[in-house]
A = this chain, B = another copy of it.
Amino acid sequence: MGLLDPLFRWTEVDVLYSDEARLQGMLDFEAALARALAGAGVVPGSAAAAIAGRCQAAYFDARALGLEAARAGNPAIPLVKRLTALVAQDDAAAARFVHWGATSQDAMDTGTVLQLRRALDVLEAELGRLADGLARLAVAHRKTPVAARTWMQQALPTTFGLKVAGWLDAVDRHRLRLLELRPRALVVQLGGAAGTLAALGDKGNEVVLALSRELELGVPGLPWHTHRDRLVEVATTLGLCTGTLGKIARDLSLQMMTEVAEVQEPAEEGRGGSSTLPHKRNPVACAVVLAAAMRMPGLVASMLAAMVQEEERGLGGWHAEWETLPEIVGLFGGALRHLTEAVCGLEVDPRRMRENLETSRGLVFAEAVQMALGAALGRAGAHDLVQAAATQAREERRHLRDVLAMDDTVARHLSPERLHALFDPAGYLGVADALIDRVLAAHAAYPGSGR
């Protein structure tokens, strides 16, 4: 927990990837393995108890294990050696059965899966909070007109509620993806040195089942030492999630620009200041989320690249995951936390949204006029007429309505009142409201929503 962690990560997730948590994950495996072996009659029950009694991270020195791991090639080797020595202090006979039948990767992978389960629990709950926050925002602003912007140019009026409903819809899809991957990702790893469980004679499958019951994890078809899609899918899915968070943050940051100023991140003492500029209120949450969105594709790519693992144990590919997957979880956690706070406390300025609809001097209503004229003139004819008026309005810095009001063709088909009404955003929102309803209904039906 150093200089940059509080900014980029979230304690509730990141603690799962502390050295201590990593050690505890492996030790939870070793303890459960001992119990499973005892249950299957492979080792004495007393040995299991003695082993489990020492499976606590506090007994171990991560730094010392790290130095040995630098030679051994992975941290499970010195951990098992040290665990054996500790158990031997208590019960020499039990020490003979530490790590029985297992390989280093069994301990490390199962430990990773256990950490991941805790992380997913926390992250899914927070995604739920974000979704609920968005749902509230969509409800509150379902009638708030705002400019829709395409290619970063004002296009048409829409509502802020519909913008938010789009964000919500995507977040809820991600929640479903995370549910779907759980049975694939949250499985036990136990294969012994080569995946045959040979060291357990004919008891291999029995022990795997017992181990999975101990840890409440699924049973894989076979050991997956070099089949990493189970874990990499977590990475790709969090990559997808982060893409959506980045999209939301990009939108917010554009709406927060000085010249737009439609929303603001929640105000807080010491938040978003500047070391020299007294007036600044920087969008810190957006910066953190966007930074994560820039870093994540590369990290996901690393996980995908590392899938090409050789035969029964990868050379380098497996190692490449050890820091990358925690990084992915940690960065996503930090970004999610920041965005949830920003969304839940977002300051929305409907007045400014409406004012900005006037920035273009009516051009944002061009399609409304075109559709109104289209019935009489055809789509192409109306398009040409309005395009010419729009160009004139832009060049002469006049309001489109005023230009159109001078046009004989327009006058023939639209009364002054009708023309005026076409420049009211509330009159050209299509089915925005119904779309919001559909998304909210789906959200409400989502398991655990509506809190």
Query: Which of A224, A244, A276, A299 has its CB near the most chain B CB atoms (within 10 A)?
Result: A276
CA distance A289 to B302 in the complex (A): 14
A-B contact pairs, 18 of them (CB 8 A): A7-B66, A73-B151, A73-B272, A96-B380, A100-B379, A107-B275, A153-B282, A153-B283, A155-B312, A158-B194, A165-B222, A193-B274, A198-B371, A200-B431, A205-B435, A279-B390, A297-B297, A299-B302
Docked Cα-Cα span, A232 to B233, in Å, equals 13
A113 within 8 A of B: no
Complex formed: what's the CA distance from A144 to B248 in Å? 34
Q: Which of B279, B302, B360 contacts A295 (CB 8 A)?
A: B302
Residue of B165, B240, B282, B431 touching A304 (CB-CB under 8 A): B240
Determine the chain B residues whose CB is within 8 A of the CB of A237 once the complex forms.
236
A76 close to B275 (CB less than 8 A): yes
Interface string of A131-162 (1 = CB under 8 A from B): 00000000000000001111111111110001
Q: Once the chains bind, are A4 and B322 in contact (CB under 8 Å)?
A: yes
A128 part of interface (Cβ distance < 8 Å): no
Specify which of B5, B72, B170, B260 is in contact with A284 (CB 8 Å cutoff).
B72
Let me know if B103 and A275 touch, CB within 8 A.
Answer: yes
| Smallest beta-carbon distance A130→chain B, Å | 15
Chief secondary structure at chain A's binding surface: helix
A34 at the interface (CB under 8 A from B): no
- Asked whether, in the complex, the Cβ of B277 is within 8 Å of the Cβ of A366, the reply is yes
Q: How far is the CA of A363 from the CA of B278 in the complex (A)?
A: 9
Pick the contact of A432: B196, B386, B438 (CB < 8 A). Answer: B196
